[in-house]
Structures are given as C-alpha cells and as structure tokens.
Structure 1
Amino acid sequence: MITGLVSIILPTYSRHTDGYLQRALESALAQTYPNFELIIVDDGSVDGTAKLARQYSRRDHRIRYLRIEENTGIPAYTTALAFLQTKGDYISMLFDDCIYYPHYLETLVSKLNGAPELGMAYGRVLVHVPGKESYEFGTKYNQVMTRAGGNCVPNVCVMIRREVIERVGWADPHILLKRRNDWDLWIRIADYYPIGFIPELIAEEFGSMLSDSLSNLNFVYLPLSRKYVQQDRNSMLNPRNIENYDPFRSDFADLNDHELQALRMLELEHYVLTSDISKLITLKIMNNDLGFMKIRAKNVTKKEVDDRLQRLLYWCREYFQWRNNDMMSKINFLENEISELHRLIWLKDEHIYRQANHIYEQQLAIKQKDAHIYQQQLLIEQK
C-alpha cells in the first residue's frame, strides 16, 4: 500500500473566466490517490478567481486558498510562499493551464516510495498547440544536456520529496529565470540526487494556446541566465528566506554595460506586464536636441503613481538615452522597442477585449441582416 501526504501547489492568475482554473481543480479532485492537500495561490487575480477558489475550499477540506492582493508576476515567488503552508511528504505543481490524469498522484507516489534514493520523479505530458498536432513531451533525465540549456522534464509532471527542497531550495524567482526556473531547479536537484523517469502520460498542458502564458509574454536572455546560474544559491533559495530575496539583483557577477542593460530591460518588461500601464499612462515619445524621452501621464494624480510606475518611467528614459547615440539608434528605438512595449501592453489586455469584439461581431451581423431585410422590403414595394 502506497502512503504519504502529497502537497499540490496551484499558482494562478485570472484563469477563471475561460474555465481553465476550474478544469485544473476538477482534475485534482478526480485523483485515485486521495491523500493530498491542494494550496491555491492566487497572484492578485481580478476575474472572480477568489470566489471560485473559496467555493472549492469550502467544498473539500483538502483545498486551501492563499491570495496575494497585488500581482507579482513571479510564480516562483508565490509558490515559495505557498510551500511554507504545506505539510506534505511530497510536493507537486499543478498549473492553471494544465490538468492531471486521474492516476497522476498514485503513479508518482508509487515511484518515489519504491525508490527511496530518488530526489524527484516525473512522467510525460501531452502538449496542445493551436493549429498543430498535439505532441508528447518528457524523456529520461540527462544532466549534461540540461546544463547545456536543454530541458527534458515537463514541470507539471514532477513530484519532489520535501527534504530535497529543504536541502537545495525552491525555484529561483530571479527575473532572468522567470521562464526557466524549473530547468534551473532540476539541475540543482540532480547535483545531489538521482532523478526518476516514468515513460507514461500523466498530464496535459494547454499553455501554448494562451497569449498571457509566461512562455508567450516573457523573453529569455540565455547567455546572461547561464552566467547567473553559476553561483551557489541553494541556501538563499530556502523558502524560509524567500521574502528577503531580490528578484532584480545584479550583484551576482561583474556585468558589462550590455548585460546590465539587458537586466534593466527584463525589469522594464516585468513592470509592464504586472501594471495596468495602458490605463495609467499614455506614453508619448519626443525627440529633441538633448535626445531624451518625455513620458507624460494622463489623468493620473501624484498619489496614484506608485513606486513601481516611477521606476518603470525612469528606466524607459534611461534605456532611451543609452540607445540614443545617433539618429539610427533613435529610429530603431522608435520602430522596435516602443512597438514591442505596446505589444506587451496589448497582450496584457487582450482577454478584456476578446468578449467586446465578440459582442461587436454579433451586433454587426444583426445590422447586416436588418439591412438585407430592408433591401428585400424595398424590392417588394417596387414590384
């Protein structure tokens, strides 16, 4: 008989409206292995997620709800806070764009119980891609390939022993690793423990279909990421120390000007994605003889502009000055960087406009139908 409490951590941000969060929760409740707890950690959702999560926590005593009021945009940080609330012998992640198969927990617990030397175990995932055939992902772990930048571990299919996290720390919340903190964690675990693989489908992932997923919103500076992970971070990544961790720090190596600017741009990107920039300010780019960027706030009082926005505006100006060496750099900045900034803003708000566009199309179809009926009436009257 397999035993052991499993703690499932489910990070989420505004995935209630489209039904993804509810589907993920139902997949957890459908497990054949009943000895689990599920911690929903809500990163400041604004779409009714809180109401749904509280309904599930009242429905099943194994489910608890942890809410962070202001969106951080760093899942490795929010899940570390959730880890501090867990009691399980084993830790698994369930993402709000994924589902577990019913035998998920039973399969992974059985694997770890049967091989006490393993630090973690994982299976395979079925990945859905819009407009393409779905594919299976997950192969036997290879530390050499992983250190070279590859990844063979689907993060939704992983179960880790609790004592492993106590030894090597949690996933790193630094913005350089926002999309690759799982890859970094596998490497750190494999430095101390063997990793078990089960060549079996145990989950499905739909994240590549969503415009607001981390993989579709955040860029990766791979050379700088590799430089960052060379340092020993295990002790500082213990979840008990996570609230003191600086996800934007640049003191991990001697960085040149280009690397420092890349790090600044990642922070700029982060603030764009976690602030309602399109509702707070209108960006107006003005070139003059001094070559600086004016950013004018619209309908914003001084009290409403918080520290994050001030920092964003400062780095927008700094980045422009850095790129403003000659007229060509000005043109490149205006055509590329600003268009990219607006693209990020648009992606942030896309889900809001989707329903409005649908309503508009319905109204247009009704108007076209009315016009057709009117034309038919005119023809009948003419006859």
Structure 2
Amino acid sequence: MNLMWNKPKVSVIMPVYNREEVLSCAIESVLNQDYAKFELIIVDDCSTDGTPEIISKYEKLDKRIRTVRNEMNSRLAPQEWEPRNDGLKLAQGEYVAYLDSDNEWWPSFIGDMSKVLEMNPEIQLVHCNSLNFYPPQVLQRVMASDQRKLVYCGNDCACFSCEELIESEFGAAVYIDTNEMMHRASVFREIGGYWNTFHPRRKEIQAYQGNRYLYRRHNDQDLFERIYYRYSRQSIYHLNKMLVNYYYPGSNRTRQPQWFEHI
C-alpha cells in the first residue's frame, strides 16, 4: 500500500522485542483497519532476531509506518524505562491507542473506538473487550476464578467484560489492558507525563493474579487509573464490543483470526 501522507487522527504505538514469528500478524491487523487515518509508530526495543527486517519491509510498503529503534533494550538497561514513551514523543494523532506486537485488533477497532471519542467530547478514554486465547489447562483455571462477566467462551478462548468501575477492585476484577484502550493525546498534559514504568501497586496486583505473569508491569492499569482520578468516572466509557485478539503464552496461534460481528 502506498498512501499520500496526511496528518493522522489516531497514533498507534507498538513496542516490539524479538517477535519475528508473530509481528507480521500484529502489523497487518493495524494496516487492515476499516479506518485509515492513523499512523503506526513501531518501537523496536533493540531486537536481536529478524524483527528489524520485518519492520523495514512494512515501512517500505506503507508510509503511515514510522520506526524508533532503541540502542539498548528498555528492560536490560541499568535504569528500566517504558518504550511506549519513545513512540509517544513522535505521535501526531489526536487520539492514541496501543497494540502489543503479539496480539491483533479486529478490523473495526480504530473506527469504533475513535467514533466514541469523536461523538463524546467529555470522554477521555474508551476501552473495549478482548477475546483471550489460553492453553487449555489455563482456560479451565481462568473460568473457575475470573470474577468478571463472561461474554463468550470457546474451546481455547474466552471473553470477559469489565463493565462496572468499582475502585476497590482496580487492578483485580477491574483491569483495563493496553490493547483495549484508546484515549485523547491531550490527557498527558493533565496527568503528569507519559507512561510510568511500573504500577505503584505492582506487587499487590501481581499477587492477585497468582503471580502467573511476572514480566507484567501493570503500567497500563496505572495509566487508566491516572486518567480516571484526574477526570472522573464519567470520563471513561466502556464500548461493550469484542475488538481484540489477546494471546497468552502457550496459546494456539495457528488458527485463523475470529471476528464475531454480533458480540
């Protein structure tokens, strides 16, 4: 694809580190969006596999893609930092969304999410639902313990809806994931800078999750909470639609992506 460059409405930030096996699926899920007025800023966090070559290929195909390449990995540096901030420094969009390099958006993600912000000036952040893919044994444990409302369940996947923003459940039953959110770029002027590296209650949140994914820093939940407390409950909108494929470690990635228009 070779589009004439116009200032984007939405900036998509995608950090990546050594994802050569799955990165193309993530990038193509952005490029195949129904909504075209976006830029995709890929932050290569000093990958050592074939990731840079994949990024270069897509950058040549689509002028909406820009790349930041870190000379040192953000997690291996003497002082760790958040690579999404490296992309945000270049972002030009009025709205910002984030996609991890091992997940996928459904084709209507950007259009549906940006429409909420466009039509409701009081809304600062909108979040949607994810179709979460798990190894079979993990899915059984999740189904037995997850407190959120179950929207859909398949053989290897489930969708839960986070509908009520109960403050006492923040980081527990209320968790807004990176891939599910879009917010106004202007919030950074009000909440005191970009992403924090860690959630201040990281250990507490990790303990609630049973220490399953120790690499998670939970700074996506931190960003949501900072927006929530600065702008109020009414500034957050839940779009009750499934618009993300989220893959947990060990899940089956060989199947074709599923899009359920009715959910």
- TM tier, shorter chain? 0.7 to 0.9
CA offsets, 1:235-278, max 9 Å, x none? xxxxxxxxxxxxxxxxxxxxxxxxxxxxxxxxxxxxxxxxxxxx
Q: CA deviation at 1:73?
A: 2.0
Partner of 2:237: 196
* Count of residue pairs the alignment pairs up: 206
Residue among 119, 130, 138 paired with 1:125: 130
Alpha carbons of structure 1 residues 9 and 141: separation in structure 2 relative to 1, 3 Å: farther
Measure, in 2, the Cα distance between the counterparts of 1:183 and 1:145.
14
TM-score when normalising by structure 2: 0.73
Q: Secondary structure at the match of 1:209?
A: coil
Paired residue for 2:176? 153
Going from structure 1 to structure 2, the CA distance change for 1:77 and 1:140 (only over 3 Å counts) comes to same
How far apart in 2 are the matches of 1:53 and 1:98?
16
SS at match of 2:82: helix
Corresponding residue SS for 2:42: strand
Task: State the 1:148 CA deviation.
Answer: 6.6
Rg: which structure is higher?
A: 1
Matched position secondary structure for 2:35: coil
Structure 2: distance between partners of 1:121 and 1:185: 13
Identity %: 28
Residue number in structure 2 paired with 1:48: 50
CA distance in structure 2 between the partners assigned to 1:146 and 1:4 by the alignment:
36
Give the gaps of 5 or more residues in structure 2.
1-6, 140-155, 203-215, 252-263
Q: Secondary structure at the match of 1:208?
A: coil
Moved over 3 A (4+): 145-150, 174-178
Structure 1 partner of 2:121: 116
CA deviations on 1:301-338 (whole Å, 9 max, x unpaired) are xxxxxxxxxxxxxxxxxxxxxxxxxxxxxxxxxxxxxx
Secondary structure of the residue aligned to 1:26 is helix
Distance 1:206 1:108 in 2: 21
In the alignment, is the contact (CA less than 8 A) between 1:9 and 1:38 conserved in 2?
A: yes
The reply on whether 1:69 has 2:85 as its aligned counterpart is no
The residue aligned with 1:58 is 60
Query: With structure 1 as the length reference, what TM-score do the two structures score?
Result: 0.51
Between structures 1 and 2, the one with greater helix share: 1
CA RMSD of aligned residues (A): 2.1
- Structure ranking higher on relative contact order (CA contacts 8 Å, 6+ apart): 2
Which residue matches 2:13? 9
AA partner of residue 26 (structure 1): E
**Equivalent runs, 1:247-286 vs 2, <5 Å:** none
CA 1:76–1:69: 2 relative to 1, 3 Å: closer
- The yes-or-no answer on 1:207 pairing with 2:212 is no
Conserved 8 A contact 2:41-2:68: yes
Give the Å deviation of 1:185.
1.3
Given that 1:124 and 1:154 are in contact with CA atoms closer than 8 Å, whether structure 2 keeps it comes out as no
Q: How does 1:1-383 map to 2 (within 5 A)?
A: 5-16=9-20, 18=21, 20-73=22-75, 77-131=82-136, 132=139, 133-147=156-170, 149-168=172-191, 169-174=193-198, 177=202, 179-193=217-231, 194-209=235-250
Q: Alpha-carbon deviation of 1:76? A: 5.9
Give, as a single letter, the amino acid of the residue that structure 1 aligns with 2:17. Y
Report the Cα distance in structure 2 between the residues aligned to 1:23 and 1:147, rounded to whole angstroms: 31
Q: Is the 8 A contact 2:35 2:108 kept in 1?
A: yes
Return the structure number with greater strand share.
2
What letter matches 2:48 in structure 1?
A: V
One-letter amino acid of the structure 2 residue matched with residue 184 of structure 1: D
CA distance in 2, matches of 1:121, 1:186: 10
